[in-house]
Structure 1
Amino acid sequence: MTISQELSSFFSPSYVETSPAPEIGAKAPSCPELPFPADNGKPTIISFLRHCGCPVTEAAFLKMRTASAQHPDINFITISHSDQESTEKWLDAVGGSESGDGSSVTMVVDADRQIYARWGLGIVSWGHLWNFAGLASIWKLGREDGIWQRPTESGNRWQSAGSFAVDAEGYVRWGRAAVRVDDMVDIEAAIAALRA
């Protein structure tokens, strides 16, 4: 990681046209990298991450990994917009995608942000990123859970995160774009929506 790599994450990324976010009850956007309904016939919880290195990204990923062990009947997928090499290096730093009992989180790399765009996840505003309450929450995450900023080798701080739950038939049952910088997947709400 270089200083220039870290600083480049603050510059606005290239423009990618986004589709409207899928509505609850609508068919989930499907593509070869993220097909719906899922090939294995299971429901899916998806977390579109902020850049690799972000404490919120790490906390969200760890929540997904823990949940994958507790709910083997659900697919858990995270999407990274950092490049493949940076994503793999970051995954190693946070302990990998395996939960230790054979369950795991699937990581999909979307460096050109096309999957993000299909799900309505574009660029956030200044108020979203530099939100005082959100930044205070991130500081608390570091202080209480020991999750601090890691080096950012690729990706962009302005890319929106978001989380969704998709049932076994491929319909969105829960989810939305992140509302501020510290917003992350609510596993319990996603599971409850899939069980309803």
Structure 2
Amino acid sequence: MVELRRSTRISSKKEPSVSESVESTNVKAKTESKVTKPSAKKEVNNETATAKLSELQVGDEIPDLTLLNQDDEPVSLKEVASKNKLVVFFAYPKASTPGCTRQACGFRDNYDDLKEHAAVFGLSADAPKSQKNFQTKQSLPYDLLSDPKREFIGALGAKKTAVSGVIRSHWIFKNGKLEIKRVQVSPETSVEEGKKEVLELAKSL
């Protein structure tokens, strides 16, 4: 009988040992563990609050909303109002445009007088990154709040249209309640009147 011979190529193949299989599995696991998932973009959810929110009138309390500032940090409006007897918010249509720059720089130039009595915040629908660029370029000493869905802007009555736009305005809250409401003002009027109103309100505290 002719004896069948195994192919040299086949017979030379070596089955992996148990230890080699385990080592291979461990290497694969270590490699997979190094793969990191992209970090989720920071977002704030104000749906519950905005569902019941209508336009604020003088005497109304500041809404329970949270917005991101230029550093992607959440800022609670209620918390801000609880820590400051006076809070000024000024809204501008778009960061780094001429009129908005005049308005923001006006509040910057008067900030030393304002900060003695009030917290100051810029506000627009711009993304935090745009706000950061604006703040850095103009050396703005206060936070700029990002309100892309125009939730707070809408509550303040400063939506330009139902779908887009922001009306240049400013507001002052005293002890957590809306005291001054100035919608549709020029950059210079916003700064001049805003400062004057803060100083007047400070006398009554």
Q: TM-score range by the shorter chain?
A: 0.5 to 0.7
Correspondence for 1:166 among 164, 173, 180:
173
Q: Give how far 1:42 is off.
A: 2.9
The TM-score normalised by the length of structure 2 is: 0.58
User: Which range moved further: 174-183 or 54-63?
Assistant: 174-183
2:102 is the alignment partner of 1:31: no
2:195 is the alignment partner of 1:195: no
Pairs within 5 Å for 1:113-128: 113-123=150-160
3-state SS of the aligned residue for 1:36? helix
The TM-score normalised by the length of structure 1 is: 0.60
Percent sequence identity is 11
Correspondence for 1:52 among 66, 81, 95:
95
The 1-side partners of 2:130 and 2:124 are apart by: 10
- Aligned residues of 2:168 and 2:184 also touching (Cα < 8 A): yes
**Who is 1:142 aligned against?**
none
Figure out how many residues of one structure are paired with residues of the other and give that number.
Answer: 142
The 1-side partners of 2:152 and 2:195 are apart by: 24
Read off the aligned partner of 2:178 and give its amino acid letter: V
**5+ residue gaps, structure 2:** 1-50, 68-75
Pairwise CA RMSD of aligned residues? 3.1
The 1-side partners of 2:145 and 2:154 are apart by: 14
Q: Give how far 1:177 is off.
A: 1.4
The 1-side partners of 2:171 and 2:102 are apart by: 17
The 1-side partners of 2:101 and 2:138 are apart by: 7
**5+ residue gaps, structure 1:** 1-16, 99-104, 125-155
Pairs within 5 Å for 1:75-94: 75-94=119-138
The 2-side partners of 1:172 and 1:194 are apart by: 15
Q: Give how far 1:93 is off.
A: 1.8
The 2-side partners of 1:195 and 1:60 are apart by: 25
Of structures 1 and 2, the larger Rg is shown by 2
Q: Give how far 1:43 is off.
A: 0.9
Q: Give how far 1:183 is off.
A: 5.8
- Aligned residues of 2:92 and 2:169 also touching (Cα < 8 A): yes
- Aligned residues of 1:56 and 1:184 also touching (Cα < 8 A): no
User: Which range moved further: 173-182 or 82-91?
Assistant: 173-182
Q: Give how far 1:41 is off.
A: 3.2
2:123 is the alignment partner of 1:74: no
2:190 is the alignment partner of 1:184: yes
Q: Give how far 1:77 is off.
A: 0.9
The 2-side partners of 1:194 and 1:162 are apart by: 21
